A and B are shown apart, each in its own frame.
Chain A
Amino acid sequence: MGYLGKLFFMAMTAVFINNYVLSRFLGLCPYLGVSKKLDSAFGMGMAVIFVMTMASAFTYLINTYLLVAYNLQYLQTIAFILTIAALVQFVEMVIQKNAPSLYKALGVYLPLITTNCAVLGVAILNTKATWNDGTAYTFIDAVLNGFLSGIGFTLVLLLMAGIRERLEYADLPVNMKGMPIGLILAGVMALAFYGFMGFKI
């Protein structure tokens, strides 16, 4: 299997088979919170892709050249959270300056990426993930995995937002409107993605 083949395998795994939201159940807060409108879901997705990619790069470097080098893996969580928090702050400033409307649409969920477990999950799993032949991820692999995981998150968020926008017009019992049907929808989507589990690439 050449590198492109490996990449395809990684993409399928990150987007469908081990999707961060629907298979690993990480990052559920924005999944339910920002999925009411397609526009803001798209904005959130882009922000998460950016943060995940950047976080993968930074945390990989920090992990390899600081933590592993000095045998300090036990500092992983705090170091990664620090990195991600700083990154999100940075992204927030950039978005506020360059895209105020997107900044408003994302609202409270942008700072929440700081504590988004999906971002931390990608960073930590990157340090543990291995290819089929047992070799660990290189820097490029880690960055790509972060990017593709972000794409998986965005895909699911957009699917959810698309369905929820249509559900607004559905004739539902009053008790089911809004969040209850959203939660049921989330469960059904997770079941649907469970179908990808059996895939062998």
Chain B
Amino acid sequence: MNIMSLTLLAANAEAFQISSVTIPIIIVGGLGLIFGLVLAFASKVFHVVVDPRVEQIMTVLPGANCGACGMPGCGGYADAIVHNDMDINLCAPGGASVMAHIASIMGKEAVASQKKIAVYHCSSGGYKNTNWKYHYEGITSCKSAVNIADGPNACRWGCMGFNDCVKVCPFDAITVDEFGMRCVDKEKCTGCGACVKACPRGIIMLVPENRNVFVRCSSKDKGVVARVLCGSSHSCIGCGLCAKKCPTQAITVSGNLARIDYSKCINCGQCATVCPTKAIEDQLSGKRKKAHIIPEGCIGCTICAKNCPVQAITGEVKKLHVVDQEICIGCGLCAEKCPKKTIEMV
């Protein structure tokens, strides 16, 4: 008798459990099913034809959503290319290959844009080359530090070294070396400009990747002040010697600071040789070759002489031209322009 009632109880309990689970399952599952069916039906009724090119371009784009093109993300850019006729050469991370793909999808001609990389215009901000105004102990972010008495770097134009640029780089192209200075990996940098936006000092600029001469200073303080405040002593004092020396007038000095116009710069490095504070860094210093005309090939067209920024090439029309090795600065413009390719850089 006892056993009988126990089994009955167990059976009851089982039945109760089943019903208390099934009804919610049926209700929630049923709701989901009905909503799903309604939505599936609605997606047919309200179907919007999306341009298939948008999706094609989306698959080609890198998908980093870096914003270098000026749109919030890759999806926005793909949409803008198709619908707003946006330029197809704006994707910095994708570079030439992505542009070629987009060009084939859109049936447009690919116009290559010069690859640019980020360049620091400050030689301070490391462990040993910075004059600190005070010891900063806040959130380790440049944006935060810059708000307290114009930042801990004595120079109010200089790098504070909290590496906002490193953190924001979507391609891990910026690393910090053993001196606490930031180095840009030329290969990895895509010129997206995320670091340029992140730097509260504005010392990072995008420069065409084949340039090798930079003013490593952003200080607009007067010469003496800039020199005293800068921990690296490589500050621009605005003396203007570089501007006078520049053969292409690419350097302008305004507000006690020299700036190179990278569209005019020919990489000759003459400015770096006269800079009294070594604020101008010439990465090719000592590696430059001199121009040398191979006598057999020269037809005397005078194109090289016309293009030489320092008038180092002399010679009459239709006669062999000569390069004055003393004057030649090794910029290589003549070799580039020579129609017979008879100028060598030796």
Partner pick for A90 among B23, B42, B47, B48, CB 8 A cutoff = B42
Pairwise interchain contact A83-B48, C-beta atoms closer than 8 A: no
Pairwise interchain contact B27-A89, C-beta atoms closer than 8 A: no
Pairwise interchain contact A70-B27, C-beta atoms closer than 8 A: yes
Report the Cα distance A75→B39, complex, angstroms: 22
Which A residues touch B32, using CB under 8 A? 82
Which B residues touch A136, using CB under 8 A? none
Pairwise interchain contact A62-B48, C-beta atoms closer than 8 A: no
The reply on A66 being an interface residue by CB < 8 A is: yes
Contact string against B for A residues 26-70, beta-carbon threshold 8 Å, 1 for contact and 0 otherwise: 000000000000000000000000000000000000100011001
Pairwise interchain contact B35-A93, C-beta atoms closer than 8 A: no
Partner pick for A97 among B27, B31, B46, CB 8 A cutoff = B46
Partner pick for B39 among A67, A78, A79, A89, CB 8 A cutoff = A89
The reply on B147 being an interface residue by CB < 8 A is: yes
Partner pick for A175 among B46, B47, B48, B147, CB 8 A cutoff = B147
Which B residues touch A72, using CB under 8 A? 23-24, 27
Q: Which of B36, B39, B147 has the most CB of A within 10 A?
A: B39
Give the total of B residues in contact with A, Cβ under 8 Å: 16
Report the Cα distance A142→B116, complex, angstroms: 60
Which A residues touch B35, using CB under 8 A? 82-83, 86
A72 to chain B: closest residue by CB: B24
Report the Cα distance A70→B23, complex, angstroms: 8
Pairwise interchain contact A93-B42, C-beta atoms closer than 8 A: yes
B143 to chain A: closest residue by CB: A175
The reply on B139 being an interface residue by CB < 8 A is: no
The reply on A125 being an interface residue by CB < 8 A is: no
Contact string against A for B residues 225-244, beta-carbon threshold 8 Å, 1 for contact and 0 otherwise: 00000000000000000000
The reply on B38 being an interface residue by CB < 8 A is: yes
Which B residues touch A67, using CB under 8 A? 27
A90 to chain B: closest residue by CB: B42
Q: Which residues of chain A in 77-91 are interfacial with respect to chain B, using CB atoms and an 8 Å cutoff? A: 78-79, 82-83, 86, 89-90
Which B residues touch A93, using CB under 8 A? 39, 42-43, 46
The reply on B18 being an interface residue by CB < 8 A is: no
The reply on A191 being an interface residue by CB < 8 A is: no
Give the total of A residues in contact with B, Cβ under 8 Å: 19
Which B residues touch A78, using CB under 8 A? 28
Pairwise interchain contact B46-A75, C-beta atoms closer than 8 A: no
Partner pick for A75 among B27, B36, B43, B48, CB 8 A cutoff = B27
Pairwise interchain contact B23-A86, C-beta atoms closer than 8 A: no
Pairwise interchain contact A75-B28, C-beta atoms closer than 8 A: yes
Which B residues touch A86, using CB under 8 A? 35-36, 38-39
The reply on A159 being an interface residue by CB < 8 A is: no
Report the Cα distance A67→B47, complex, angstroms: 34
Q: Which of A62, A70, A93 has the most CB of B within 10 A?
A: A93
Pairwise interchain contact A79-B31, C-beta atoms closer than 8 A: yes
Query: Beyond A89-B39, A90-B42, is A79–B27 a contact (Cβ under 8 Å)?
Result: yes
Distance in angstroms from B198 CB to nearest chain A CB is: 15
The reply on A130 being an interface residue by CB < 8 A is: no
Distance in angstroms from A71 CB to nearest chain B CB is: 9
Which A residues touch B36, using CB under 8 A? 86
The reply on A188 being an interface residue by CB < 8 A is: no
Report the Cα distance A83→B35, complex, angstroms: 8
Report the Cα distance A45→B28, complex, angstroms: 30
Which A residues touch B46, using CB under 8 A? 93-94, 96-97
Report the Cα distance A96→B38, complex, angstroms: 17
Which B residues touch A82, using CB under 8 A? 28, 31-32, 35
Q: Which of B31, B38, B47 has the most CB of A within 10 A?
A: B31
Report the Cα distance A97→B49, complex, angstroms: 9
Report the Cα distance A94→B42, complex, angstroms: 8
Report the Cα distance A93→B45, complex, angstroms: 9
Query: Beyond A83-B31, A175-B147, is A90–B38 a contact (Cβ under 8 Å)?
Result: yes
Query: Beyond A82-B35, A83-B35, A175-B147, is A66–B27 a contact (Cβ under 8 Å)?
Result: yes
Report the Cα distance A93→B47, complex, angstroms: 8
7 A-B residue pairs with Cβ-Cβ distance under 8 Å, sorted by A, are A70-B23, A82-B31, A82-B32, A86-B36, A89-B39, A90-B42, A93-B42
The 4 closest A-B pairs by CB, nearest first: A86-B35, A97-B46, A93-B46, A96-B48
